[in-house]
C-alpha cells in the first residue's frame, strides 16, 4: 500500500535537536503525555514553535529524552546480554532492548554494529550466525563425518565430566557455606543457575544435548540428571583438567592475538588471561590437539546441556519464551559476569559473585571457572539459540 510522507517536508526542520527544542518537547510530553506523534508537532506548535517531524519527535523522545534511559558505556553484563539475545533474536533490536532496561534499541543497535560485531568477528565468530567461522568451512569441506563424530563424542564426554566435577565442587561449597548468607547469595548464580535456576534454558539445552549426542551417532540416553551429577559416587576430583578447559584457553589465546585496543575487549580478556597464566600446563599440553574453533562450539553446547539437564519442564513445553530467557539471563548474568570495572551500576564487581564479601581471595581456579562459565554461557546460547535453531524462527 502506498504511504504518504509522515509529514510535510516543506519547511520541516531537520538535523540535530537543540537544547531548546528538547525542552519544548519535554514540556509538551510532560503536560500531554506521549503518543499521537504525527499530531504532536502541530499541537506543540500551538504552544511552542516546533517544526520537527512527528517521527523525529518520537525518535528524540524514545532515544534520548525519555527519563528512564541510561546512557554511557555498556557494562559487561549488558554486553553479554546483548550477545546472547542477538544469538536468539537476531537483529530484532527492539525485542533485545526490552530485555535491557534503560537502553534503547537504537543504542543497542549502534553498540552492536560498532563494538560487538567487530569483536566477535575478530574472535573468529560469525556475528550473524554466532557460530565459529570454521564450522562453515569444515562443513563445506566435507570432513570425515565419522572422525567428527568421534571427536564430538569425546568432547561431549569431557564436557560432561567437567560439569560433573563442577557440580560436585559447588555442592561442597553449598555444604561448607550454607550458614553464610553472603555465600549463599554468591552461590545462587553458580550452582543454582546450573540447576534449578537455569530451567528456562532447558528446551534448547536439552535439544542441543540430544542434537550433540546424535551427531555423535550414539543411541544412548544422555539425559544426565543433576542429581546424578551431584552424586557422591562421582569419581571426579576437583583437580581434573577436562579438555574443555583447553578449548577455552586456546580460544583465549586466539582472541588475545586478535584483540585490539578497545578497553572493553581488554576487560573481556583480562580474566581469561589471568586464568590461562595459571593453567598454562593444561594449555601447553593440549592446545595443539584441540583447536578452539572446531571444538568450542560443540563443547559449549555440551557443557550447557549437561548443566541444564536437571529439569525437563521447559523442554516439554517445547519452546523458550522470551520471558523465560530473560530470567535465565538475569539469573546467569547476576552471577556469571560482572567484570566491568564501572559496572554501570548493575555489576556487582565481583569475580565469583562474592567479591565484596571477602571470598575473592585470589583463587585462580575459581576465577578461571567463573570466566569459563561466562564465556560458555555466551557461546552456548549462541549455539543453542541461534535463529536457525530457535523455535521462534
Partner DNA sequence: AATCTCTCCAACCGCGCCCTC
Partner DNA sequence: GGAGGGCGCGGTTGGAGAGAT
Site residues (vs DNA, CB under 7 A): 1-4, 6, 14-17, 35-39, 53-56, 58-60, 62-64, 71, 91-95, 105-107, 109-111, 113-115, 118, 262
Report the Cα 62 to chain-centroid distance in Å: 25
Report the Cα 142 to chain-centroid distance in Å: 31
> Could you tell me what percentage of the chain is helix, strand and coil, using 3-state DSSP and rounding each to the nearest 5?
65, 0, 35
- Name the one residue in this structure whose C-alpha cell is 545462587: 188
Taking the complex as a whole, the smallest distance from the CB of residue 26 to DNA amounts, in Å, to: 13
Cell of 102: 534503560
Nearer to DNA by Cβ, of 83 and 159: the residue is 83
Q: What is the DSSP letter of 9?
A: -
Distance CA 196, CA 199 (A): 6
Taking the complex as a whole, the smallest distance from the CB of residue 296 to DNA amounts, in Å, to: 26
Taking the complex as a whole, the smallest distance from the CB of residue 176 to DNA amounts, in Å, to: 44
Of residues 222, 269, 295, the one with CA closest to residue 123 = 269
Nearer to DNA by Cβ, of 89 and 161: the residue is 89
Taking the complex as a whole, the smallest distance from the CB of residue 37 to DNA amounts, in Å, to: 4
Nearer to DNA by Cβ, of 28 and 368: the residue is 28
Taking the complex as a whole, the smallest distance from the CB of residue 10 to DNA amounts, in Å, to: 12
Nearer to DNA by Cβ, of 36 and 277: the residue is 36
Nearer to DNA by Cβ, of 41 and 310: the residue is 41
Nearer to DNA by Cβ, of 73 and 211: the residue is 73
Distance CA 10, CA 7 (A): 9
Q: To the nearest 10°, report the CA torsion of 17, 21, 23, 24.
A: -150
Non-local CB neighbours of 257 within 8 Å, separated by 6+ positions: none
Nearer to DNA by Cβ, of 118 and 185: the residue is 118
Nearer to DNA by Cβ, of 355 and 387: the residue is 387
Task: Give Rg (Cα) of the chain.
Answer: 24
Non-local CB neighbours of 316 within 8 Å, separated by 6+ positions: none
- Beta-carbon count within 10 A of 263 CB: 10
User: By the 8 A CB rule, do 58 and 75 touch?
Assistant: no
Taking the complex as a whole, the smallest distance from the CB of residue 140 to DNA amounts, in Å, to: 25
Nearer to DNA by Cβ, of 43 and 133: the residue is 43
Taking the complex as a whole, the smallest distance from the CB of residue 2 to DNA amounts, in Å, to: 6
Return the sign of the alpha-carbon dihedral for residues 128, 133, 135, 140: positive
Distance CA 127, CA 117 (A): 6
Taking the complex as a whole, the smallest distance from the CB of residue 381 to DNA amounts, in Å, to: 18
Distance CA 376, CA 390 (A): 18
Taking the complex as a whole, the smallest distance from the CB of residue 125 to DNA amounts, in Å, to: 18
- Name the one residue in this structure whose C-alpha cell is 535463529: 387
Amino acid at each position: 500500500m502506498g504511504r504518504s510522507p509522515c509529514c510535510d517536508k516543506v519547511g520541516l526542520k531537520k538535523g540535530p535537536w537543540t537544547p531548546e527544542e528538547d525542552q519544548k518537547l519535554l514540556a509538551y510530553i510532560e503536560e500531554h503525555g506521549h503518543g499521537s506523534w504525527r499530531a504532536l508537532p502541530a499541537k506543540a506548535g500551538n504552544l511552542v514553535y516546533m517544526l520537527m517531524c512527528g517521527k523525529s519527535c518520537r525518535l528524540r523522545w524514545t532515544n534520548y529524552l525519555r527519563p528512564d534511559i541510561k546512557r554511557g558505556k555498556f557494562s559487561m553484563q549488558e554486553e553479554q546480554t546483548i550477545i546472547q539475545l542477538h544469538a536468539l533474536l537476531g537483529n530484532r533490536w527492539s525485542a533485545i532492548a526490552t530485555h535491557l532496561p534503560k537502553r534503547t534499541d537504537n543504542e543497542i543497535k549502534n553498540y552492536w554494529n560498532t563494538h560487538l560485531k567487530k569483536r566477535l568477528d575478530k574472535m573468529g565468530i560469525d556475528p550473524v550466525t554466532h557460530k565459529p567461522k570454521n564450522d562453515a568451512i569444515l562443513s563445506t569441506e566435507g570432513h570425515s563425518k565419522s572422525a567428527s563424530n568421534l571427536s564430538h563424542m569425546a568432547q561431549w564426554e569431557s564436557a560432561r565430566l567437567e560439569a560433573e566435577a563442577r557440580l560436585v565442587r559447588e555442592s561442597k561449597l553449598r555444604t561448607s557455606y550454607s550458614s553464610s548468607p553472603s555465600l549463599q547469595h554468591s552461590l545462587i548464580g553458580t550452582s543454582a543457575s546450573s540447576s534449578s535456576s537455569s530451567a528456562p534454558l532447558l528446551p534448547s539445552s536439552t535439544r542441543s544435548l540430544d542434537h550433540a549426542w546424535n551427531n555423535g551417532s550414539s543411541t544412548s540416553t544422555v539425559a544426565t540428571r543433576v542429581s546424578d551429577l551431584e552424586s557422591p559416587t562421582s569419581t571426579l576430583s576437583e583437580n581434573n583438567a577436562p579438555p574443555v578447559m583447553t578449548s577455552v584457553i586456546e580460544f583465549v589465546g586466539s582472541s588475545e592475538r586478535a584483540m585490539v585496543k578497545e578497553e572493553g575487549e581488554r576487560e573481556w580478556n583480562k580474566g581469561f588471561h589471568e586464568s590461562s597464566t595459571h593453567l598454562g600446563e593444561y594449555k601447553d599440553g593440549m592446545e595443539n590437539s584441540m583447536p578452539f574453533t572446531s571444538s568450542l562450539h560443540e563443547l559449549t553446547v555440551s557443557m550447557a546441556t549437561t548443566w541444564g539437564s536437571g529439569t525437563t519442564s521447559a523442554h516439554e513445553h517445547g519452546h523458550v519464551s522470551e520471558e523465560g530467557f530473560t530470567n535465565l539471563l538475569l539469573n546467569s548474568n547476576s552471577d556469571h559476569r560482572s567484570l566491568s570495572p564501572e559496572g554501570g551500576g548493575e555489576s556487582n564487581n565481583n569475580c565469583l559473585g562474592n567479591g565484596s564479601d571477602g571470598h575473592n581471595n585470589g583463587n585462580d581456579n575459581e576465577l578461571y571457572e567463573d570466566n569459563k562459565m561466562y564465556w560458555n554461557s555466551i557461546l552456548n546460547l549462541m549455539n543453542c539459540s541461534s535463529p536457525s535453531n530457535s523455535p521462534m524462527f
